Chains A and B, each alone.
Chain A
Amino acid sequence: MQTVGRRLGVDDAVIPARAAPPATRLAWNRLDLLWVVVVAALLGAGMLKSQGAFSYRWDWSSVWPYFVKTDVLTGQWAPNLLLQGLMTTLRLALWGMLIATLVGLVMGWMRNHARLLLRMVASAYVMTVRNIPPVVFVFIFVYFISNQFMPFLALDQRVSALPVEVQLFLSFLFGPMELINNFFLGLVCLSVFSGAYVTEIVRAGSDSVPRGQTEAARSLGMTNLDIMIRVVWPQALRNVLPSLTGQFIQLIKDSSLVSLVSIQELSFMAQDVQVSTQRVFEVFVLTAVIYFCICFTLSQVFAYLERRHGRAY
């Protein structure tokens, strides 16, 4: 009893010691100005030099129609390949984050479970996925593992049997229904892959919550599930938000990997547009800008959440 009490005391002192970040104020001095000038000069020199070595006629005009087209049939504006690919990437990212989080929560919970078998299953999953290069994982998953369940799911056939309204709703959530198999395969692959990393984050988060909290909750008669949901995870979430942000951003970028197995997201579409227009570098630059915008927006959202949750407890 005494040990528990002592531990609680020490840990309690640690928890509230989260200081607000110091207020930043923009103030320029001469040294800063010098740095800006030096960096700008280097960039300028580099660009000038590359213009000689890199003879490429930039032509953006042929790329834009692949974003938005004027539909020949209706005469109205409609999304073209790049925008369609972007939508698929966004859908992959959102659903991927959700599923990876669920996988991570379950596996992270198993990873700390009292039962050896559960611990072993979870750690086997994490170790297998984490120690294989992503590209190899994608190939193995798609050609060996997915073939064991995708034909039996026969998603496209099931979907086409549904009423039209339901199909419309589903295509809002998951994209064009004729590509549902393709999308689902990419989604599962991405979620299983990212889930392993989220598992470790969940485990680290749970470990970061002092044992005294769990013990106190148990002494109040809470069930294991209650302890996780009401005591451990809310506190853990605050601790792991920064690493979770990083993992989610990584997930969005990893979604470009599934283009290797012909999942028709942004990178895959960009490749098609590159080949068809022969405007390789314009499409590269555009794709980079799009990914940057998505990831940057996400990191801003999480930064906001971090500030909020930093205050909440």
Chain B
Amino acid sequence: MNFNRRFFSLVLTFFCSFSLAPVVHAQQDNLIDTIKKRGKLQVGFASFVPWAMRDKQGNWVGFEIDVSNKVAQDLGVRLELIPTAWDAIIPSLIAGKFDVIIGGLTITPQRQEQVDFTTPYSTSGQGVAASKQLAANLKWPEGYNSPNVTFTCRRGVAGCKTVEEKWPKATLRQFDDDAIAFQEVINGNAHAVISSEPKPSFFVIRNSDKLFKPTNENIVNTFEGFGLRKGNTAGLAGFNEWINKNQAWLKQRHQYWFRTQDWAGLVPSI
């Protein structure tokens, strides 16, 4: 089933771009105008700490939610949040289920073939949490480049690619869910897990008897952009302008969600 899902979301992404061309084309005039005419900005995203999470009241909170709210506010329209399964996020965009992905989508060359990215509105780094039981004696980073070392990651995130590039000999196991990828390392079934910060740091703090951080530096710095359907230059320009205008605000919100834990009370047990 996992294979099916991965494979078919790829194939579908590919086919969507052709078979839905007429449907999508109608909306390609000028995305910003379409949104304003509709009076509603539809944003696609997936839940991921601290980008977008449900607080104890069941409401959405997080960095992406702040950004989406401000975009909608500045456009003078209502915001419609469309939570989407991570695996299906790019096919859903192409199929026209929403206007834009504001979902911590890291800009990668592979994704650029399927979607248009705005200029980065956020930067984040990948971090590693390793098992004290298995990896305590491994030398960082070269000791991890061995077939005996197992990395875990959430399938489809940029970190999986990093492992393949930096530790090509290591075994990589991919999971649907980040929390399970971490749990495997806590259980001592894998040596290390890669994920975007601050999650690895949080997990190390909460499971200090089982996990440690081999390095406190970010392994790779990544940039995130809004994802749009291909070929909408006017829409792209509109969002780029918004991002450039709000750099200071974005930085301040980013600081709040990624560098502090002031929001920890919103969500249980983080």
Contacts and interface: CB of A to CB of B under 8 A. Distances in A.
Interface string A28-56: 00000000000000000000000001111
A302 interface: no
Contacts of B180: 280
A80 B8 contact: no
Nearest to B88: A261
Contacts of B159: none
A46 B17 CA distance: 50
A62 B179 contact: no
A60 B87 CA distance: 28
Contact of A273 (B16, B54, B92, B187): B54
Contact of B179 (A143, A264, A275): A275
Contacts of B56: 65-66, 69
A109 interface: no
A262 B49 contact: no
Contacts of B12: 139-140, 143
B125 interface: no
Interface string A242-276: 00000000000000000111101000100111111
A73 to B, nearest CB: 9
B177 interface: yes
Contacts of B54: 66, 81, 272-273, 276
A56 B1 CA distance: 26
Contact of A271 (B15, B47, B57, B92): B47
Given A139-B12, A275-B177, A260 B268 contact: no
Contacts of A279: 268-269
Nearest to A182: B82
Interface string A120-158: 000000000000010110011011100100010000000
Contact of B187 (A55, A71, A84): A55
Contacts of A297: none
B203 to A, nearest CB: 8
Contacts of A261: 85, 88, 92
Interface residues of B, number: 44
B187 A135 contact: no
Contacts of B205: none
Q: Which of B4, B85, B268, B270 has the most CB of A within 10 A?
A: B268
Given A260-B88, A275-B49, A84 B8 contact: no
Contacts of B96: 147, 151
B92 A262 contact: yes
A208 interface: no
Contacts of B179: 274-275, 278, 280
A59 interface: yes
B19 interface: yes
Given A143-B20, A271-B47, A275-B179, 19 more contacts: A53-B188, A80-B57, A133-B1, A133-B4, A135-B1, A136-B4, A139-B91, A143-B16, A260-B88, A261-B92, A271-B85, A274-B179, A275-B47, A276-B268, A278-B49, A278-B179, A279-B268, A280-B179, A281-B183
Interface of A: 53-56, 59, 61-62, 65-66, 69, 71-72, 80-81, 84, 133, 135-136, 139-140, 142-144, 147, 151, 259-262, 264, 268, 271-281
14 contacts: A54-B187, A55-B210, A59-B269, A84-B58, A136-B8, A142-B95, A144-B19, A147-B96, A151-B96, A274-B179, A275-B47, A276-B53, A276-B268, A280-B183
